[in-house]
Amino acid sequence: MYTKPKYIQLIHIAKQKLGMDELAYRTMLAHLTGKNSTKQMTISELTKVLSELEGKGFRNTANKAVHSARKSKTTKPTIVDKIRVLWRAMHKQGIIRDGSDTALDQFARNIVNVELVKKGNNVLIMTVAGLNGDNKLATQVLERLKQWQKRVEGKNG
């Protein structure tokens, strides 16, 4: 059960989503409740109007756990995910001979650990997954892969 303002908000959202013009909307309100404004209605009348709009195809997703759970499942791909995708794509293109994760880890180590040693950092990465917390280093690896791909495609194209 919602508050009166929430019902009014949902009804107005439904009106917009269903593409109802003002005349059709007001006619529907008058037909269902005898009133042509949601502000004049009681909660039971608002419920009746919302039910009618749901019958016309409006899907009410307000405050449903399913809706928020669905959102959280679609996470934004990390830079490391993008590195892996590009690595595999380059392998399929024939740019890279060994498309394994071990080879990718070695490639990343060659780039990142040199940079870390230059900065005096004695904590070195062993795998690409170790880049997950450091967007700067992960971006560096991704950009090197892109440059490599462009260079090879430029020679072949």
DSSP secondary structure, 40-71, as one string? G--HHHHHHHHHHHHHTT----TT-HHHHHHH
Q: What is the pLDDT along the chain (157 residues), one digit of tens a residue?
A: 789 999 999 999 988 888 888 888 899 999 999 998 999 999 999 999 998 888 888 888 765 544 444 555 566 778 899 999 999 999 999 999 999 999 999 999 888 888 777 878 777 778 888 887 778 888 999 999 999 999 998 887 6
**Which H/E stretch holds residue 107?**
helix 101-118
Report the pLDDT value the prediction gives residue 66, as an integer from 0 to 100: 45
Q: Quick one: pLDDT at residue 78? A: 87
Q: What are the extents of the domains in the chain?
A: 4-73, 79-156
pLDDT at 64: 55
In the chain, what's the furthest Cα-to-Cα distance?
Answer: 78
